[in-house]
Structure 1
Amino acid sequence: MHEARLAPDPAPSSAAIAVRSLQGNEHARWDAFVDTCPDATFFHRAGWQTIMEQGFHHDSHFLYAEQDGHIAGVLPLAHLRSRMFGSALVSLPFCVYGGIACGSSSVRQALDSAALALARRLGVGHLEYRWRELPEDADSSWLHKPLYATFRRPLHPDAEQNLLAIPRKQRAVVRKAMAAGLHSAIDYDLKHFYPIYAASVHRLGTPVFARRHFALLRTVFGKACEILTVYHGQQAQASVLLFYFRDEVLPYYGGGSVLARSTGANDFMYWEAMRRACARGYRLFDFGRSKLGTGAYDFKKNWGFTPQPLPYVYQLVRAKALPEVNPLNPKYALFIRAWRRLPLPLANLLGPHIVRQLG
């Protein structure tokens, strides 16, 4: 089920803590720690350094704390520079989770101090940690802005029990899609996924990632990154790119065609992701984050998932106020409406140049 990893470094002692920058030949060592650290997520993996640098051309600053020659904590950071939205040091852009993964408050403080010093040296507007769960001893001086929730739930080993856990109305949509003959398959290229995804986000008024972004994800993360597509006959109607981490599955980038709403292909797609993961021994379904008060937020609640607020935190460095870079900001409403009116080929051409600045 999982990729082979090096044995993790032994537990750290009370020795002095040194903070270092991740080097290209240390990715396996970093990932060995991430694989066993309870605080770590898929987005703490070293491969994101490659995504940040080669995919988005952002400088990365992946910091780790070392004790007795062993990794004791990690903090992946990337430096976003945008003419439109300013400069920020973020853990981690384009990812739903981030922050420090470690096993002790002393290691967390060492990495935190190093990150703040780096943020000041770079002269960024703010430093941002995308915690999934806020540490009990987190510094209360950090600013917090409620904006997102995540949706996570254990998978039952029996697929039928997972189906029955879906509320009745939503479960009926899945059963209807089954009865209509929809089926899923694992795709090994972007042929179906990218056009469906690009058209889907265009209808939402959101700039799309470049096709090469998804190709790079597949290359960097290998078997931990998979594409699942739903078909009606030979017609692809919905597709999702999945991440796998330890015993979790994360449907991360997904979209449906204009027919998907009427056929239930979107619901069936997530059910198939759940069913297939269960069959392969995964034990937790991470439905990902959604903005509060949005349709995506309601959709996941309708699946029976309980929202868990995400405690993203910020330290102002040169900025005077927290950024408001999100589609719920009224100032972006005109842009969203205009983007929807762009011809799809033009939106696909321009989108990657804009989205890399958003993070």
Structure 2
Amino acid sequence: MSETNTLTLQAVCPIDTPEWNTFVEAHPDATVFHTAEWLHTIETIFEYEPRHVLLTEGDTDNEDGTVHAAVPGFVVSDGFGQSVLNPFCEYGFPLIDDAVDVAVLSTLQDADETRIIKDTGWSGVCGYNAAGYGGVPTGSSIRLSLDRPFDELWESVFEKDVRRCVRTARDHGVSVIDGSVDAFYPLYLETMQRLGSPQFPKQFFASLADTFGESVAILLAQHDEDTIAGVFLFEWDDTTIVWTPASKRTHWDHRPNHLLYVEAIKRACVASRSVVDFGRSRRGSSVHRFKAQFGGFDYPLTSFVAPPHRAGRASLDGYGRLSTITPYIAPLITHPSVGPTLKKLIHE
């Protein structure tokens, strides 16, 4: 524990610290990736060393302690040494209340440690800049505001190709059902093998589904009793996050992905959620163009790094350069004994 600008910087275990989730649940910019449940699942499955901190006045061990910021982080290997970040998600920014006027990244800075803060324009975090904090662009996220009924989104927000593709899916007899991890995982693994990308272990999905309960949904698209596409959703608080889509390329002509996304949006509208977040993608990519069809606002994603001269550790450019060869070595990358280990090392 250390003192900084009248605030106490305290390392905590969020799952054992009720103040963590109390602060997260009350913060307007919090995401599922800030919750104690997400952090506990990451630690349990991947065994990263936790480095989560609360900034408080007083002490969280007594009733006088007031939490002013929560910053998630794990120690991960990044090929150059070790860094602290929130892995496997787009958003790892600090949650800071309005009473704090402090650059939290500077507060956390340790000369012997690299801290990477994954941030986006809607987070409300301020005080960072690319020059002073080693800012590295990492893509963008598209977030659709559910500020009108679903029927109005369908008619006036979705591009006409979405409506056409959904009609095509239905004309081909594609239907959407609630699914399980057991049904989703083979489809997910097939998708990772096609992309040449290391996979999460099955127990990670199972643990998330068990831990989050009704805040996780798995939708599956079926055609002639064959599961041809699926999506893993977080339905937490007022936001639906489309976290992990998967599909069979041989059935893309049936447009199951369009139908799945529309059904996810419809679910969010029925549940009176405020936002559907389509996750990270690279501008100009086919994935980004697909997501853009549903409307929404495009927010740039940036990782801020302290100390700034280590900014290269937050770059994702290397993964893009490897994408041309990974499909050819996919059997090795996605081997059951290799893929999950690589996923832990890559931590993205």
Bin for the TM-score computed over the shorter chain: 0.7 to 0.9
* In the alignment, structure 1 residue 72 sits paired with structure 2 residue 68: yes
- Of the three residues 31, 48, 56, the one matched with 2:38 is 48
Specify the alignment match of 2:172 in structure 1. Answer: 180
Q: CA deviation at 1:295?
A: 1.7
- Of the three residues 337, 340, 344, the one matched with 1:352 is 340
TM-score of the superposed pair, with normalisation by structure 2? 0.87
Asked whether the equivalents of residues 127 and 317 of structure 1 are also in contact (C-alpha less than 8 Å), the reply is no
Specify the alignment match of 2:234 in structure 1. Answer: 243
Asked whether the equivalents of residues 305 and 311 of structure 2 are also in contact (C-alpha less than 8 Å), the reply is no
Amino acid at match of 1:88: S
SS of match in other structure, 1:349: coil
Specify the alignment match of 1:87 in structure 2. Answer: 82
After superposition, give the CA deviation of every residue in 1:195-217 in whole Å (9 maximum; x if it has no partner): 11111122112111110111111
Asked whether the equivalents of residues 153 and 285 of structure 1 are also in contact (C-alpha less than 8 Å), the reply is yes
After superposition, give the CA deviation of every residue in 1:100-148 in whole Å (9 maximum; x if it has no partner): 1111474643x4344212xx3xx44x32100122633335510122231
Uncovered stretches (5+) of structure 1, i.e. residues with no partner: 1-14
Q: CA deviation at 1:280?
A: 1.9
SS of match in other structure, 2:173: coil
Asked whether the equivalents of residues 134 and 309 of structure 2 are also in contact (C-alpha less than 8 Å), the reply is no
Q: CA deviation at 1:76?
A: 0.3
Q: CA deviation at 1:293?
A: 3.0
Uncovered stretches (5+) of structure 2, i.e. residues with no partner: 58-63
Amino acid at match of 2:96: C
Specify the alignment match of 2:119 in structure 1. Answer: 131
Amino acid at match of 1:311: T
* In the alignment, structure 1 residue 101 sits paired with structure 2 residue 102: no
> Which structure 2 residues correspond to residues 299-310 of structure 1 after superposition, within 5 A?
299-310=290-301
SS of match in other structure, 1:252: strand
Which runs of structure 1 show a deviation greater than 6 angstroms over 4 or more consecutive aligned residues?
none
Asked whether the equivalents of residues 24 and 30 of structure 2 are also in contact (C-alpha less than 8 Å), the reply is yes
Q: Distance in 2 between matches of 1:28 and 1:184?
A: 38
Asked whether the equivalents of residues 100 and 108 of structure 1 are also in contact (C-alpha less than 8 Å), the reply is no
Specify the alignment match of 1:266 in structure 2. Answer: 257
Q: CA deviation at 1:269?
A: 0.8
Q: CA deviation at 1:39?
A: 2.9
Q: CA deviation at 1:285?
A: 0.9
- Of the three residues 192, 200, 216, the one matched with 2:191 is 200
- Of the three residues 12, 32, 36, the one matched with 1:22 is 12
Q: Distance in 1 between matches of 2:282 and 2:311?
A: 24
Distance 1:135 1:229, change over 3 A: same
Q: CA deviation at 1:35?
A: 1.4
Specify the alignment match of 1:149 in structure 2. Answer: 140
SS of match in other structure, 1:147: strand
Asked whether the equivalents of residues 207 and 354 of structure 1 are also in contact (C-alpha less than 8 Å), the reply is yes
- Of the three residues 210, 218, 221, the one matched with 1:219 is 210
Q: CA deviation at 1:318?
A: 8.0
TM-score of the superposed pair, with normalisation by structure 1? 0.84
Q: Number of residues paired by the alignment?
A: 333
Distance 1:199 1:24, change over 3 A: same
Amino acid at match of 1:77: G
SS of match in other structure, 2:176: strand
Name which of structure 1's ranges 96-105 and 136-145 shifts more when overlaid on structure 2.
136-145
